[in-house]
């Protein structure tokens, strides 16, 4: 999963010019722009997302990101200015809040709890959608800037809609959020058993009444 094979439209380029004993020290590729359309920026962001998700902001180094994207560290800088820039861009779509909100708010009020649990599980079970949230959560533990983003994300984007449309007190929404965040943490980060191996339906049965009580 770590290695991304490039499709490579035509094998016509460089690599064979000085085949004997060139200074193949760093990254096995010469300087200069690569042929074909530019896809590197996206590759860097993808690698960044994975690494931030795995190690958090401080733990993921620019150099490791560059390595994973098979690129020189300076290129990361060229595109994003600095590490914070990479993080900000990589987090630029934790989850499309409107899409999620629509799904949850489409349900009748007496099934809010169930829909919320189902939606959380759906998002967290999909590695691509889980990554940015996990990155944000991990980073927010040790990095104040990430904590601000997380706070904003939790309050405004995710649970704010529920507050606005149903006039539910914020404290109750926080309690529901706490239940969901805590369970996700136990299940996906700490991998505490047996909740890490429970089925989705088990969790819905277990948690939906709680969330419903807070939001109903």
Partner DNA sequence: GCTTAAATTCAACGCATGATGAGTTTTAGC
Partner DNA sequence: GCTAAAACTCATCATGCGTTGAATTTAAGC
Per DSSP, the three-state class of 69 is: coil
Under the binding rule (CB under 7 A), the answer on residue 3 touching DNA is no
Measured distance CA(117)–CA(75) in Å, rounded: 41
200 within 8 A of 159, measured Cβ to Cβ? no
Among 79, 88, 174, 195, binds DNA (CB under 7 A): 79
Q: Any residues with CB less than 8 A from the CB of 201 and at least 6 apart, and which?
A: none
Measured distance CA(102)–CA(154) in Å, rounded: 16
Measured distance CA(189)–CA(195) in Å, rounded: 11
Tokens encoding 133: 């949230």
Question: Where in 192-211 is the site for a copy of itself (CB under 8 A)?
Answer: 192-195, 198, 202, 206-207, 209-210
Which of 53, 71 has the CB closer to a copy of itself? 53
Measured distance CA(158)–CA(145) in Å, rounded: 19
Which of 71, 117 has the CB closer to a copy of itself? 117
Question: Where in 20-59 is the site for a copy of itself (CB under 8 A)?
Answer: 55-56, 58-59
Q: Which spans of this chain sit near DNA (rule: CB under 7 A)?
A: 13-14, 23, 25-38, 40-41, 60-64, 70-75, 77-79, 82-84
List contacts with a copy of itself (CB under 8 A): 55-56, 58-59, 137-138, 140-142, 147, 150-151, 154-155, 170-172, 174-175, 177-183, 185-187, 189-195, 198, 202, 206-207, 209-210, 213-214
């Amino acid at each position: 999963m770590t290695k991304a094979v490039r499709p490579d439209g035509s094998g016509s380029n460089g690599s064979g010019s000085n085949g004997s004993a060139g200074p193949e020290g760093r990254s096995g590729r010469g300087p200069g722009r690569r042929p074909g359309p530019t896809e590197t920026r996206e590759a860097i962001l993808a690698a960044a997302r994975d690494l931030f998700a795995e190690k958090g902001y401080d733990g993921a180094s620019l150099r490791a990101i560059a390595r994973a994207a098979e690129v020189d560290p300076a290129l990361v800088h060229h595109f994003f200015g600095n590490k914070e820039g990479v993080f900000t861009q990589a987090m630029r779509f934790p989850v499309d809040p409107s899409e999620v909100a629509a799904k949850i708010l489409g349900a009748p009020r007496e099934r809010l709890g169930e829909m919320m649990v189902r939606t959380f599980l759906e998002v967290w079970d999909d590695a691509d959608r889980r990554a940015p949230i996990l990155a944000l959560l991990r980073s927010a533990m040790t990095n104040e800037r990430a904590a601000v983003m997380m706070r904003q994300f939790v309050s405004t984007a995710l649970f704010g809609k529920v507050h606005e449309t149903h006039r539910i007190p914020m404290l109750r929404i926080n309690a529901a959020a706490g239940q969901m965040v805590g369970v996700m943490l136990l299940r996906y980060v700490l991998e505490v058993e047996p909740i890490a191996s429970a089925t989705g339906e088990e969790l819905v049965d277990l948690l939906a009444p709680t969330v419903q009580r807070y939001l109903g």
